[in-house]
């Protein structure tokens, strides 16, 4: 499986990493490790995660209140949203593959 990201996911990730890096020296590193582990879990078994609707799935990050929303198309996974668990459930759902 190939995993790609919507450009907004990269911006969101940078903002979250900046936030955690301001808190402690290791918080940003721990968040990125959780993000990367979730990406790897998605890559290995994308259909393992529960459906949000007809074509989107959700993967929670371990030990952080964030999750990834992604779509599967053929042999590619497209991650459209990285959001906090308390964000509105509709946040980012209008994002599409370009």
CATH number at residue 78: 3.30.2310.20
Partner residues linked to 58 by β-bridges: 69
44-75 residue pLDDT tens: 999 999 999 998 999 999 999 999 999 999 99
The per-residue b/e assignment along 73-98, b for 16 or more CB within 10 angstroms, e otherwise, is eeeebbbbbbbeeeeeeeebeebeee
As for how many domains the chain has, the answer is: 1
Mean pLDDT over 88-98 rounds to 75
Predicted local distance difference test score (pLDDT) of residue 41: 97
Residue 21 sits in which domain range? Answer: 2-84
The pLDDT tens digits for 11-39 are: 999 999 999 999 998 999 999 999 999 99
> Whose CA is closest to 60, among 76, 42, 45?
42
77 touches 46 (CB < 8 A): yes
Residue 98: pLDDT over 60: no
């Amino acid at each position: 499986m190939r995993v790609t990201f919507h450009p907004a996911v990269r911006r969101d990730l940078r903002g979250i990493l900046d936030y955690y890096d301001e808190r402690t020296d290791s918080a940003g590193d721990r968040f990125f490790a959780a993000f990367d582990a979730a990406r790897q879990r998605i890559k290995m078994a994308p259909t393992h995660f529960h459906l949000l609707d007809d074509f989107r799935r959700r993967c929670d990050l371990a030990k952080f209140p964030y999750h990834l929303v992604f779509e599967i198309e053929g042999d590619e996974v497209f991650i459209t949203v990285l959001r906090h668990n308390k964000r509105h459930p509709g946040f980012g759902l209008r994002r599409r593959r370009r």
